[in-house]
Structure 1
Amino acid sequence: MTLTVGTALVVLAVMILGEIWRVAAPGAVRDAPLAQATGIAAAVSTAWPASGDPPVGLTGLLGPASLAAGAVLTVALARRSTAGLGPDLARAVGTVLVAGVLARVTGPDGSTLLEGTARPGSRSGLVALLLLSVAVATVAVPVAGRSVLRARAERVSVLAALADDLGRHGLLALATASTAAVMALSMHVLGPVALVLFLVPLGVLQTAVSRQRTIRAAQRQTLFALARLTDQAGLTARGHAYRVATLAVPVAREVGVPDPDLADVEAVALLHDVGQVGLRRPVPGGATVEVSPRDQRRIAGTGAAILARTAQLSRVAAAVADVGLPHHRAVARGDVLPAARVVRVVSAYDDLVQGATGPDEPVEALSRLLRSTPHEYDPEVVEALVRHLVRRGRLTSSAADRLTRVG
Structure 2
Amino acid sequence: MGSGVVIVATGGALALIAIVLTARHGVTEWQYALVFGVLIAVGEMVQFRVDRIRNRAPIATSAALAYAVLRGPAVGVPPEVAQIIAVTAVATAAGIVPRAIAGLWWDIVVSCRRGISVACAAVAFAVLTTPDLVWTGRWQEAIWIAGAMLAAVLSAGISDALIGAGQATERYNRPFPAALRDELSVMTRIGLAMGITGMLLAAATALLGLWGPPVVLVPLLLTQFAFRRYSSAQRTYRATVRSMARSTEIAGFSSPGQNARTAALAVAIGNDLGLTPARMEALEYAALLSGVGQLALADPSPGGASLLRTREERQRAAEIGASVIERSGVLDHVAEIVRHSNDPYRHGRANNSAIPVESGIVNVALAYEQLVGEGSGQSPDKAMESIGLGIGAEYDPVVVESLRRIVGRGFRF
- Determine if the alignment matches structure 1 residue 153 to structure 2 residue 171: yes
Task: Please name the residue that 2:320 is paired with.
Answer: 302
Identity %: 26
- What is the alpha-carbon distance in structure 1 between the residues aligned to residue 173 and residue 397 of structure 2? 23
Letter paired with 2:199: A
In the alignment, the residues of structure 2 paired with residue 388 and residue 120 of structure 1 have an alpha-carbon distance, to the nearest angstrom, of 61
Amino acid at match of 1:317: A
Secondary structure at the counterpart of residue 374 of structure 1 = coil
Distance 2:346 2:114 in 1: 55
- Three-state SS of the structure 1 residue aligned to 2:201 is helix
Q: Which moved more, 1:209-218 or 1:315-324?
A: 315-324
> For residue 103 of structure 1, what is the amino acid of its counterpart?
F
Pick from 247, 250, 253 the counterpart of residue 235 of structure 1: 253
Instruction: Name the amino acid aligned to 1:393.
Output: G
Alignment of 1:210 onto 2:231: no
Report how many residues are paired. Answer: 379
- Identify which range, 29-38 or 144-153, moves more after superposition: 144-153
Distance 2:207 2:269 in 1: 53
TM-superposed CA distance for 1:277, in Å, is 1.9
The change in CA–CA distance for 1:120 and 1:27 in structure 2 (over 3 A counts) is farther
- Indicate the residue corresponding to 1:388 in structure 2: 406
Tell me, in whole angstroms, the C-alpha distance in 1 between the residues paired with 2:96 and 2:364.
Answer: 48
What is the distance in 2 between the residues matched to 1:240 and 1:367?
21
Higher mean alpha-carbon deviation, 157-166 vs 233-242, is at 157-166
Q: Which runs of 4+ in 1 moved over 6 A?
A: 53-56
Contact 1:268 1:343 in 2 (8 A): yes
Determine the C-alpha separation between the residues in 2 that align with 1:197 and 1:167.
30
Residue identity matched to 2:239: Q
Q: Counterpart of 2:86?
A: 65
Q: Does 1:349 align with 2:371?
A: no
- Return the offset for 1:131: 1.5
Which residues of 2 match residues 263-282 of structure 1 at below 5 A?
263-282=281-300
> What TM-score do the two structures reach when normalised by structure 2?
0.79
Q: Equivalents in 2 of 1:184, 1:31: separation in Å?
A: 20
Q: Distance in 1 between matches of 2:181 and 2:383?
A: 31
Partner deviation per Cα, 1:243-280 (whole Å, 9 max, x = no partner): 22222234245556444322221111111111222232
**What is the aligned counterpart of 1:24 among 49, 73, 77?**
49
Alignment of 1:351-390 (within 5 A): 351-354=370-373, 357=377, 361-390=379-408
Judge conservation of contact 2:96–2:106 (CA < 8 Å) in 1: no
Larger CA deviation: 82-91 vs 379-388: 82-91
Give the C-alpha shift of residue 173 in structure 1.
1.0
Amino acid at match of 1:226: M
- Partner Cα distance (2:115, 2:274) in 1: 38
Q: State yes or no: 1:101 paired with 2:123.
A: yes
> In structure 2, do the counterparts of structure 1 residues 225 and 33 end up closer, same or farther at CA, with 3 Å as the change threshold?
same
Deviations 1:90-148 (A, max 9, x none): 3564455333333333x6xxxx4554346795343132112211122224434443442
Corresponding position: 1:322 with 2:340: yes
Q: In structure 2, what is the equivalent of residue 141 of structure 1? A: 159
Is structure 2 residue 305 aligned with structure 1 residue 283? no
Residue in 2 that maps onto 1:116: 133
8 Å contact kept, 1:12–1:68:
no
Residue deviations 1:191-234, cap 9 Å, x none? Answer: 12222323433432332232122112211111111112222333
Contact 1:140 1:173 in 2 (8 A): no
Match of 2:21 in 1: none
Aligned-residue RMSD, C-alpha: 3.3
Q: Which has the higher contact order (CA 8 A, sep 6+)?
A: 2
Q: Distance in 2 between matches of 1:385 and 1:115?
A: 59
Provide Cα deviations, 1:311-348, integer angstroms capped at 9, x if missing partner: 33454333322222222321456642222222112211
Q: 1:45–1:346: structure 2 CA closer, same or farther, 3 Å change rule?
A: same
TM-score by length of 1: 0.80
- Whichever residue aligns with residue 101 of structure 1, its letter is V
Helix, strand or coil at the partner of 1:248: helix
CA contact (8 A) 2:345 2:393 kept: yes
Candidates 103, 121, 128, aligned match of 2:146: 128
Task: Give unmatched runs, 5+ long, in structure 1.
Answer: 48-52, 396-407
Q: Equivalences for 1:66-85 in 2 at 5 Å?
A: 66=87, 69-70=90-91, 72-73=93-94, 76-77=97-98, 80-81=101-102, 84=106
